[in-house]
Each structure stands twice: as structure tokens, then as C-alpha cells.
Chain A
Amino acid sequence: MKSDRVFWIVGLLAFLLLFSATSEQAIAGTTGKIKGQIVDSNGQALPGANVIIEGTSQGTTTGPDGDYLILLVNPGIYTLTTSMIGYDQVSKTDVQAIADFTTTVDFTMNETALEMAAIVVVAERPPVEPDRTTTKYILDNSNIEEVASIVKDTEQVLELLAGVGLDGDTSIRGGDTSSSGSGSSDVVYYVDGVPMSAVNVERRSHASRNFQGVNASAVQELAVVTGGMEAEYGNAQAGVVNIVTKEGSKDFHGSLDYLLNPAGKKHWGSNVYDSPYYEDKMKWNDSNWTGETDPETGRRVHERTDYTGVIGHRLEGILSGPVVENASFFTSARYRGLAAVFPEGKQRGFYLYPDRKSGWVASPGNIEASYKLTGNARSKFKVGVGGIYGRSGSYWGGSGARRQLGRDIFLPEGSGSGQVKYKNDLTYVSLTHILTPKTFYEAKLSFFRDNQDTTNVPVDQYGEGVTEDIRRDADGYFTAAPSTRTEYQLTKRERINFKLDFSSQITKGHFVKSGFEVAFDKVLTVWERWQSMTSFSLRVAGKPYTRDKPWEPIQSSWYIQDKMEFHGLVLNVGTRYDRLDWGTQVPQGEHGLWSMAPMTKSWTRQQLIPLVDAKALQAWSPRVGVSHPITDRATIRYSFGVFRQLPSTWYIAQYGWVSRARAADFNNNGQIDPTEVGNQSDSRDWSGFWDRIKYETTTSFEVGTDWNFVGDYISSLTVFYKSGTDQFFYGNSYWWDPQLQAPQRGGADWRNNSYEDVRGIELSLRKNLSHGFAFMVSYNKQWVSAARQSGWWRTYFVPDSNWVATGTNYYVTHSRDTNGDGQVNSSDSGSEVPVPLTTDEIMEFGHRANERLRAIQNGAAADYDPLKESEIKEMEDWPGMWSYKQFNVNPRGRGTAQGTFGTERPGFGSAVFMYHSPTDYGPVWSDISVTLVYRMQEGRARRFALPGEPPKWWFGPVHTRADLAFVKRFQLRNQVRPTLYFNVRNLFNQRDLQPRPDVDWWKNGLDQPRPDSGKYNQFGDTGELSRYAGFPREIELGVMVSF
């Protein structure tokens, strides 16, 4: 395939460049700076002094004023050494470089009389980063390793940081997630400076979580920006997750981590086969029922399986080492074969949301891996190569297709059609060219692929679906055998991304960065489902009105930013330009209009919809951030910015149809020709492709302070306000049909008709590891007002007589005589051709159209309300077509203090406590770590009224969970270090209700059905399997070996 060819060409090129040139991997957005001044014992500047970073080839010489600057320093802890003839050599250890920050290390050198003596001091880390102009939280490799036994996955590590939601969606400050709202996550992810995912994430694809492919063991530094992002980051409204992966090493190092998750019931409530959930449907005491067999297969229908007896496994390993001299590699891979909570299509796999044990991916075989090639610089060119690789599978299908809770619980494991294969790959090459010691540019080329395909899907001889009726047991309830079912989703998303950044420390106080980025995307999703032999639905997101051609938009951006430093004040100013070129023509007007007009309602007739050139989408986004020191241990910061984001491609580009009958053989040739496929379908819901959409926009303002108030205790407090406008949600189009003389409700067009406002407080308190103890506490409290369909949510289209009379716009009949011979037979193509209106029809329909128009203009139309609806006007880009809009006076909002479209957690937080015993406490008690992670989330809101009172919003129950890890490390005489650990998840076995329970919880304190409920008194709590959040306490055992 073409994409594979590109993949290999890029990889080969990178490989050749690697060994022909140099390389120390250096990718911007992923490196920091070290600067400082060197003076003598009298405080006089020392020009010409050398400064090197030990263990690297990086270094520089001080200038006339004794200042030095080293750019492109990879995140990590270093030793800096200065030397100068006539002076004692000085080394400072524990110098930490952080991506996108400047570390200041000053030196004082003493004259030496006889020989150069060496002085080693420990660098005093700045308690707070003085150049932090936005809210940014950073975890380095050592922080991640401290919690590695209990926090296994990258997304779980992210959740420990303030501002990041705990629902597993990595929402930031209440922003949209990949499973909510417009389906587009407000967060952008970077790995080694390369953006992940193609054209925004969306919930219908596994790739919406592809950053999971970066294993926690591969992370060198993880940073989350929850406040204003600098101008170099775009296409996100809430924040940035920046992951820097580890470098290779000069010697071989590695580790293997195995975790055993013992068998056991992993859900609240009874064993499913005995649960009140099934009321009286399970008849284990009835020998006729237990002995029933399927007459077609002879298989016993009702058979219990030991779904709680499955042992789960998790294996993760890393390996790094030299490749050749001056080049090294790092690779990490992970396998997860955990047990499903309930009987599932396949009982081993993993969870997309491990903390909720939801989002089950039935994939006994799976792998997530990352790799990186690096080297030491020999010249001014630096090259890096890396990537992520993921493979897994699952099931795709509805009822009767696979084993699952409900009526399908007795289906055999592994049965059913519709098995899915997922492939997620990211490959990148970066080139850094240092022009001068203060100026460099970086170019990054990346290729991203996210594919999902369904296998073993049955189709008939015509390629149409084959779906059998579900066969039930003798009682007519449980599914006796897996039905043959046609349902599949094919998703192909690819992106070739090129980014060029130019950076220069122009003067001492100005660090300017500018760049541009262009992304070539291919997006195709086809989701087809046959509910029965005659009923199917189809949704496509791709090139308009095609079924197998991808949409190929081009996104480009340009930015410039200047980081200015004046006497401790840091000012970060920038602006960004974003643009979308559609790469295709789009329907004239709105697809929603055409979707319900009789003349273009079916899939085949929609091929006749006129397409026009699309206007490019473009926007500017200014950004400002300021940081000012209050004392040497405290800073205050402000940031303001406008952030744009393209809505999800799924909602921009999708079309949907349903059909109640199989395709008709229009040309009577005894087969369904390609031109006949879909000719009995109707267009339905979720229509897209409208070039009048805009970027979603969030204007964000925040004020924060960082304070190292005592010792190594650091607090951060931020107050923020975000105003989201032009948020994407659907509205409806209405087309007034002249023949029918009535408005036809069109499909739901997605449009920018919603808003959301978020105000909140974000608190972080941490103590770095010292004296064996460390902790990290974070808490977010937010107040949200949001309303869907809050603006002009309905659009009405009314043609005039000119439009009707063109002869090419409007039809009321179609003919199947495609060759014009007066007959319909096998010589015709099978498609339909529109029949032009007669003169009388033009006159009649044109008259009706004008009458309608005049009635609205004169206010005489009964269904037109000038108080709610705008003035009707002719569309500038569509002569002859008039439109007006209706303002939604009752938006589907959630009032105040509720939540955004998917994340309604008004408050959430976590606390991590770590204790580490000293290494000299004897063989038993030394090198022991105990880590406790405590999470808290407030409940979601429900609106109801108490007697005599107006409706109000009420918050639901809190959910808390504590996890404990106990780790014992051993040191053998060779370099091998075994480690044993055990984890206790949900240490206190806390059982909490789901975040939004029934109203009875608020009114009567009930978390179970009412005491007068007949069903409850007869069967017990039929909702017990889904009533509670989280999972019961479970213990995991692990062993890790590192060398």
C-alpha cells in the first residue's frame, strides 16, 4: 500500500541519516536551556571560562560578561563543570534540565596558586521555576518510578497531576474529552515534540487513546500544561500533554516487570449467574432448563462459565544499549492479558479506562511498544528517529453477536462475527541544525497511522449484509447460539506531518521562536450495520458522497513567540495562525437540507447533490504569559490566550443512512449492481460537511502563584476562567419543499452553536523526596455553565422561483431509463436520473415557493415567529436560496455549576504519599517503598424539584479510592536488581454509587430500590451489577528484574 511505502522510505532515510551524519537526539518542545554567569571570588565576570555538561558533548564558553548559555539540553539531571586556567575547577551536581524551561546555574571560581584543584558542590535547584508563565506540572523519570508499581499506565500517571480529570479521559479543567460532546478531545498530545493522532481524536476509534502506546517505563519526562499554552501549540482548547521518552544508554540496561492479577470477582454484586439482575430468568434448579440443548448444534444452551477464575497477566519490559559507537537505542514494550469483569466475547484483554474497569478491549493478543534511536553529536547536525507501535483486537457487534452481559451471556467465548483488528503506528524523524551557539532550527517529519478493520464479516453474493434472526432458548429469552451478523467498522486515519521551528536567543533578554507546520490527512470511517436481512444503517466519514474514498484535508499553521526576560520578569508573547484547506468540494448549502429533500434522500440520489468549492477555515490566536518573582522562593504568573480547535472529523465529515429494505434491482438484470446499492435507503441524522463551520474557541485567563514556603514543600495555586464559544453541537435544518408545501426536517447538522464557561481553582502541594518521604496533593474545584444548542440552532431554507426554474436544482421525479430508449431493462445502468420539471411544474412550484417567501417576509406565515427567528435573507453564496434561523430560547443547558458536555465533576483531586527506607537499614528493612495513592471525585448533577420549590441542580455522591503499593528492592552482587512488590487496589474496599444515581438517593437516602418496589421485594436489587462505581478490593503481585 502507498502508506506502507511511505512508512518504509521514511524509516530507511532516517536510518541512513543517522549513521551518515551525527546525532544527538534533540527535539524542541522537548529540551530545556541551562544558562548562568561565572564570576571570580571578587564577583568579577570571567570571560572565556569553559562550561561542559558531564557525560555529553554539550558545552560552551562564557562571553565577555561572564554569561553562558547552553541550548537543546535533554530533560534530566546533570553535572556541570567549569574550568579555566588559573582557577579551581568547579562542578555542580544535581542540575536539572526541564523541557521548555531555563535552569540558571551560576559559578564562582577561585584562583589557584599551584595546580587546578577541583571543587564539587551540589547545585541548589530553584525551588520554583522562575520562567513558568503558565500552569504546568512536570513529572520526571524519578517521580514516575516512585509510583511505578501502583500506577502502571501513562494516563494514570497523568491523573496524579492537578487539573487532569480522574475519569480516565484525561480531560483538563473540565474540557471536552474524547468520549463526550463534539467527540473531540480538547487536549493535544505530543511525544518527543511530535503531535499524536490524525485530525483530532474521536470516540469511535480506539486511536482516540493512542497515546497509551507510550509505556510509563519509557517516559523520561511528562509535562501537562493546564493553563495557557504557548503559540507553538495549537488545535487544543484545554491543555497539552508533552511526553519526552527516554534516551538510549552507552551500556546495556533493561528491565522486565511482570504483574499477576489473581482470579476473583471484579465487580460489585453477586456472581452474574445468580444475580437478581436476571430476575427469574436463571433456573438453575430446573433440570429441563439446565439440560436444554440447541437443536441445531446440540450444544448445551445454559452453561455457567468460571469467568471469575481467570488470572490476569501484565508484562512490560525495556531495553537500551549501544548500537554502534556514538549511537544507542531505547525500546519499551507492554502486553496486557487481564481478566474481563463480566463474561465477554474474549475473557482476556485490557481496559481503555483501567480505573473504572470499563472500555473492555477483548484482545488476548496485544502489544504496545515504543522505540528510539539516538547518538552523540559530532557536528552541528543532530538527527533522531523514534516511534510507537500498537496492535490489538476486539469485537464489534451488537446483540447476538458475541458473549456479553444480558441475553447473550450463554454464548461461547470467542464466538460471533465481527472481530476487529486495531493498528496504531507513529514514526518520526527529526533534524536539528545548530547554526550558531544561540540559533538553531528543527525539522520534524512524522507519519501516523491508525487503522481499524473488522474481519470475518459475512456478506451475500451481492456484497450485502447477511444477518440471521437471533435464535433464543425455549423460554425465548437467552440467546441460544451466536447469530450471523453483518456489522463492521473500517477506520483509516493517516497523517503526514511536517514541522519546522526556528529558535534564536537573539539577545540576552529575547528568545524568539517561530515555525510552521503542515499536516496532510486522510480520514475514512465506514460503519455499516445490518440489524436484520432487510434493515441496515450506514455511516460514512470520508470524501462527500463516496463510500470508500478518504477525506484529505490539509491543516497548516504558523506561529511566532518571544520569551523576554527583564530582571526576573518573564514575558511570553506570541500569536498563531491556523488554517484548514478542505481538500474536497462540499455540498452547496448544508447537507442537512439535501438529506431530507425527496429528490436527494437516498444514498444513490445524493450523488446528484451539487458540490462547490469550499472556503478555507482560518483563525488567529494571540497568547500572552507573564511570570514575576515575588521573593526568591515565590513567583506569580498570569496568562491570557485564545485557543482554537478544529471539531472532530467524525462530526464534520459523516453522513448516515438507514434502509428498511434491501437494494432494489432497478434494471431487472437479476443482480444488484454497484449503482443500485443503497437505493432504498433514507438519509438520517448526523450530517456534516459544511464549510461554514468555525474553529471551536476558548478564551482563557488565569492567575497563579508558586511558592516554596518551607524546606522542599512547594505549593501552586491557580484561579482560572475559560470561556468556550462556538462549541460544536448539532442543530437541525429544515427545507421547505415546493411540491409538498411543507417543511421537511433535515438531518442533524453539526454546527458551532454551543457555549461553555468554566471557572475554577486548581491547587497543587508537593514535597520532593527527602528524608525518605515525599507527597503530592492536587485538587480542582470548578463551576461550569454550559448549554448545547444555545444559539441559532435551527436553520430554515426556502427557495424562490428563480431557484426552482433553473432546471438543474429541483426535481420531483426520477427515471430509471438511463439510456433513454424508453424502456427499463438490463441495458440501463441501474441508477436513477432526475426528470427535468415541465413548464407547468416550474410555474406551479415556483409560484408556491414565492408565496411561501412572501408569507414569511410579511409575517403572515403561521409557523414563523419574528421574535424567535431572524429575518429571512437570500444567501450570498447561493442565489435563489433564502434562509433564516431560529434562536433557541430553551437551550439544552445544564444551568450553572454543573459540568461540560461529558465531564461533570465539579471537584476532584488526588494525594500520593511515598515513604522510602534508607539503603543502610539492613538486608530486610532497607530499600523498601510504601506508596499510597488516594483519589477523590465529586458526583455528577441531576436536576429535580422538591415539593413547592423550583427545580435545582443537585450533586451526586462522592467516589474515593485508595491504592497501596509495597515494594522491596534487592541488590545482588552483580548488576541485577530484583524487586518484589504487591499492590492493593481499593485498599479500604470502598463501594460508592455511580456518580449520578436515582433521585431517591437525594430525597430518601436510598441507594437501592424503594422498599415498596414489587420487583425488589420479589427478586432483590436487579440493578446491583451496575449500581456501584469502581471495583472491589484486589491484590496484585509483581516481580521486576532490572540490570
Chain B
Amino acid sequence: MTIQAERLDEVVTALRTVLADDQILTSKPDRYNRARVPAPFPVHRWSERLPDLAVLPTSTAQVAGVVRIAHDLRVPIVPRDGGTGLTDGAVPLRGGIVVDVKRMNQVKELDLENRTVTVGTGISMLKLNEQLAAHGLFYPDDPASYPCSLVGGRIGTSGWSLIGSRYGHTRDLVLSFDHVLPTGEVMHVGDGIGHKISKSSSGYQLKHLFMGHQGTLGIATEATLKLFPKPEAELSPFWAFDNYDDAYRCVGALARAGVATFAGAVLFDEWKVAYLRRDDEAYIPQPRDVRALVCAVMYGYEDEVRPAGRRLFRIAKEHGARYLGDEISEGDWAARHDRYATPLHGRTKSGQVVPMSWHCEDAAVNYTQLPAVSRAWHEIVADLRRRTDVFDDWGMFTYTSGNTGVDYLTEIDVGIWEQQLDDRAWEMWVKAKRDIAAVALAHQGSISACHGSCREGEVDLVPDELGRGFDVMLDLKRSLDPHNIMNPGKYLLDRAYETGPTP
């Protein structure tokens, strides 16, 4: 559903009461460039995902004003922050107004004594850390999209951080935030009173509810974040193995070791190494018996990281690891945001280079279930590849989520040749996506550790995953967003209104 032309005028006129003209974008390219995120996107049906217009507010009051207008006029709202998400929270399914928060990128307050910073949610972590570096501090929320994703999107998706095993993930790092509810009311939410309090037992724990909702419960506009000393030392050894099993055992042992500076470990499986051999200068020259890799990362002071590193090197050696050397170790970790997903790595089965889109399908999986999940996932992608070269297997990474090694962000990277997408290919993809999610659930995992689970295919299984909790989601949604204006069509939340109004 999109807004009829005459209603569009009414909406724009109303928006002009809270925004300047240059904050209201209605042109076709403005709308086409706010329809898509890097999540699998049916590019052949691009025009069905357009917003009717986009707005660029600069303050909480302006966001609240826009949402109030949308609420009064019953127009859908889709929040858009970095637009870098790997689920499609920021993709409009019913037209409406995209609220793009990128202009809300100011640092409002830096509190050096309490070690917090308060920022507009349109700031990127990279830019924030450039400013914090002058004070010897950093904000350790480190997703793959670190150079361009924004604090607000991290809140809306409840993001996962590559170094979260040491510093925590977005939910641990965001202390509190201002949040515009679907009615346009402004709420400050955190632990108890919020602000700079990191732990409170007062009242319900609402902060988590307003993180990871994929824009279905409102828009975060200003956030207070926890800061850490910028680490003096970083150690990121990469080790090679001649088989997956040894690498798997090694990563488990490293994660379970209980080293305090341990910030994460990553396992590259045999498909991933085969993928990197396509053109990665670090891996092409490696001998053929290099089939799996493990990387571990430590952050802290020099005198903490050195002995901890010795311990992890000892564990790796006991598991048959071969150290790849300082150059690859430092270089690959430094390039962690850039290296592993470029369209030029796409190949047909016979080796033709074709531009492919990178899709990372993730789940949260316990350590003991990783081998079974990885086998089943590769088989799902192999089935796609037996039918067409539109899909390509780019291998799997598994990353520790916490400091005890209990569960892992488990991802299979799938190349998709978007130039060839059509309805049949898209249907094959959606089915595969559903199958990938089903495998995670069958192994007591969660559909997503990191991206969210509201895309076509996987979303069908969310009620199974959450059980009675899904009905609570419906109750909350109906209560907070009585007219279903906030990002409608996501997470099967329309079911909350089956006896009530729909826009």
C-alpha cells in the first residue's frame, strides 16, 4: 500500500509544519535510494519497496513531530539509519515515510569522569571513535559494517560486535536512549531511570524491549554510551589447520580458556578457505593442506595481552595449529571489515567471474551444534547451486558471542548474482532461507545472533522460536502502536491487528 497522490500532498503539507523544505525528499531517486539495504533484495521488484517520501530530521522534537503526523494521518513510518542491515528492517514494505536520522550525528556530551558519551543516533562508530581517540577512549561496538553503520541502527537491530566477547554487544554498551514511540510521544529508556546508570532493578527491564525491534516500536534519537580506555595492545594470531575438526576443537578450547583479555575467536571452515583461495593474496599462496583457520583476538594493556597470548598460543599448538605469521595476522584482522565480501569474488561453478551480492545468513548456535549446523547449511546452498549459478557458497565463519564459548554467531555467506534474479530465483532463495532458519531451530539455536529475523522465509519460523513469547510481542505491538503505523509488515506483527485496524 502506498499513499494516494492527493494524500501525499496532505502529508507533505503537514510535514512542513515541523520540517524545512530541504528536509523533505520526494523525488524518485530519493525514494529508490532509501528502498534497499544489503540484505537479500529482490532487485527485480525494486519498485514495490519504495517509500512515498523520506525526511531528514535533525532533532528528537522533529522526529516526534513527524511520527505524530504519521500517527494522526495513519501513514506508515520506516526508520532508516545506516541502511547497512542484513535483515530488511529499513526496507519499506507498505510505502509511507522513511525517517532517515543521518543528520542527527552530533556528540552532545562527553563525560570523562563517568566514562560516557551522549550522541545523536545518526553518528557512525568510526566517526565517534575519531573524536574519542583524542581523550584516549573508545566505544567498542564493532560490527562488520563499522565504517558506516550508525548508533541508531545498532539499537534498532540490537547489534552484535566482533569484539563483544570482551566488551559486550550493543545492548551492553548502550546505557540509555531517547526513543520516539509510535504515537509520537518521547520516552527516555534505560535501566530504571536510564541516563548513565548501567544496572538498575527498578521496574521492568524495558531497555531490551526497545532494542532489536527492527523499527516496529519506534525510533531511537539520542543515546548514552559506555566508554572504555582505548586499548594499548592488540594481538590477533591467525592459525592454519589441515582439517576442520582440529580447528573446531581449537576454537572451543581457546574460548573456554577464560582469558580476561579475550575479545573473540573466529573459525573459518573449509568452504571459507576454498572461497578465499579464489583471489585472496593471503591465502592463495598457502599450501593445499591449509583447509581451516582460527583467529583469536585479545585487547588490553601490553602486560596483560602478552602472557594471555602465550597461553592461547600454547592451546593452539596442542591442537595442531600452524601460526600464519605476524603479517597475515595483523593485516587480516585490521582488514576485518573490508576483506571478506566483495562482489568480484562471485563465480559460476565453472569459474566465470560475475558480480555477486554478499549475503551473510546468521544464527546463534551452541558450540556443540556447530559441525552439524554447518554441514546442513552447506547442503542447502549446494542444492541451490545444483540448480543454478545465481547462488554461490562463500563458506562459513563462526564467531564467539561471549567470553565463555557457550554460543557462536554462525554465518554462511552466500553470493547472489543479482543481475539474474527473477521470481523463480527469489522463491528458491526464500525457501532456502527458511530451511537455513529451520536448521538453526532444530539444533536448539536462534534464527539470528546478529541481524534480526524479519525477512521473508525466516520470519515464518519466528512464532515457533518464541512460542508464547510471540503472542506477547503481538500484545505489546498492539498496545504501543494502536494503528500499526510503525514499520508495518515486519515480523508478522500484522497478526496483532487481525481483529483491529490495519493501515
A binds B: no
Q: Which residues of A contact B (CB under 8 A)?
A: none
Q: Which residues of B contact A (CB under 8 A)?
A: none
